[in-house]
Amino acid sequence: MEKGMKPGLSVEECVRRLKRYHYAFKRLHQIFNARITREPIYELKMGFSLHAHLCAEHVTALRKRVGEMREPPLGLDVVPDESLEILFDEILATPQTTELLCGVYEIAMPALKSGLQRHLEDTNLLADYPSVRICRFALLELDDMLSYGTQAISALVDESDRQRAANWVKLLQDCLAAAGSLDGVDDPVPGSLDRQYSANPYHFDGVPKRDKRFPDPYNMGVNAEVFLYDPQFPPEPKTLMMFYKRLREIDVPEMMASIIAETPGKPWDYYRDMTRQLWDEARHAMMGEVGFVSLGIEWPKRVMVNFTWSLALNTQLKPIERHAVLYFIEQGLMPKTGKRFEWEVGVASRNALAAMFQD
């Protein structure tokens, strides 16, 4: 009863804060998506695919909630604060992976988490329950993303990296101070915000990058499809070909990220659905990785994974043409000679993991 009688936030103030969370998640989605292709480290490429998907889901939930409290136009495409725009522009534009990790996981996401937590403290838990539920779910997945980010920073960022980035990190902190924190509740701290990396317009880099575990990204070494469909081979070795096909799907997120980044002006649901499929494709690659590990195969030493598909599509075709290729391939996998056949091979091989992944 005590919490139910708390005055809490007005509808106007609740919407104002939700729009800021929405802006933060939307810009984080943009940043993760933009870095999938150009990030060479495989684990980060997969992590960014997941985090782009999670951010897109929270953007969708926040848009719906604002729509429940306001009549269109909702103003969700309006930048809520110029200082926040500079903050996210700088993180998007940094050429360094180490700075990107620090900017996202030590500056932007903790500020977003603090805003969501303060919303739960300030609002009336009864009157604003739909917002409370959205904030709680967002906090759960923010904690997952921050845990991942902490591990990534521990593995990749050293003291010399931090010293080089000190002035840039200070700029990000100043941006938050000038905005009155991410939620805009604190008193703004005036100051000069001189853009560094974002002084010039950002351009998406569609050329895929791979780390040193991919020594020859231009050749496959084996034609998995020919092997898989050859009736003279038994199911057991074909399982290896299916794991290989899955791992090889690493280049689909690399290509899909380019479609999303270079196709402006679509309704938000387009980006949400495309990012969901992008994460699905990243999961497929990880299924192949897990499959090899389950069989004791050190895939970085034994398996050639090329990137010629994403490289060619990203550099030679327009976004709509890449999408047409993607659609054609996906539809071609639907007949009995496609995914169903691979599932039947997995079952016949008596490899429960392969059968489950294909199922």
Give the model confidence (pLDDT) of 324-357 as tens digits: 999 999 898 888 888 899 999 999 999 999 999 9
Q: Which helix (H) or strand (E) holds 18?
A: helix 11-38
State how far the Cα of 49 lies from the Cα of 272, in Å rounded to an integer: 12
Asked if residue 74 is part of any domain, the answer here is yes
**Angle in degrees, 0-180, between the axes of helices 42-69 and 11-38, rounded to the nearest 10:** 160
Instruction: Please check whether residues 169 and 75 belong to one and the same domain.
Output: yes
Instruction: Please check whether residues 276 and 137 belong to one and the same domain.
Output: no
Given pLDDT bands bounded at 50, 70 and 90, which one contains residue 158?
very high
Instruction: Please check whether residues 155 and 247 belong to one and the same domain.
Output: no
Domain end (from 150, 168, 192): 192
Asked if residue 16 is part of any domain, the answer here is yes
The Cα-based distances of 359 to 77, 113, 228, 286, 344 in angstroms read 40, 37, 17, 16, 9
- Percent of the chain at pLDDT > 70 equals 100
Asked if residue 216 is part of any domain, the answer here is no
DSSP state of 106: I
pLDDT tens-digit readout, 229-247: 999 999 999 999 999 999 9
Range of the domain at 63: 11-192
Instruction: Please check whether residues 162 and 69 belong to one and the same domain.
Output: yes
Asked if residue 199 is part of any domain, the answer here is no
State how far the Cα of 280 lies from the Cα of 274, in Å rounded to an integer: 10
Asked if residue 200 is part of any domain, the answer here is no
Instruction: Please check whether residues 249 and 178 belong to one and the same domain.
Output: no
Given pLDDT bands bounded at 50, 70 and 90, which one contains residue 67?
very high
Kindly tell me if the per-residue pLDDT of 14 is higher than 90. yes
Given pLDDT bands bounded at 50, 70 and 90, which one contains residue 269?
very high
Domain end (from 168, 192, 216): 192
Asked if residue 213 is part of any domain, the answer here is no
Asked if residue 314 is part of any domain, the answer here is yes
Instruction: Please check whether residues 241 and 170 belong to one and the same domain.
Output: no
Question: What pLDDT does residue 275 have?
Answer: 98
Q: Which helix (H) or strand (E) holds 3?
A: none
Instruction: Please check whether residues 238 and 349 belong to one and the same domain.
Output: yes
Asked if residue 6 is part of any domain, the answer here is no
Instruction: Please check whether residues 174 and 76 belong to one and the same domain.
Output: yes
| CATH code (residue 42) | 1.20.1260
Whole-model pTM: value is: 0.97
Q: What angle do CA 25, 29, 33 make, to 5 degrees?
A: 170
Kindly tell me if the per-residue pLDDT of 33 is higher than 90. yes
Q: Count the domains in the chain.
A: 2
Domain end (from 192, 209, 238): 192
Instruction: Please check whether residues 23 and 137 belong to one and the same domain.
Output: yes
pLDDT tens-digit readout, 170-196: 999 999 999 999 999 999 999 899 999
- Percent of the chain at pLDDT > 90 equals 92
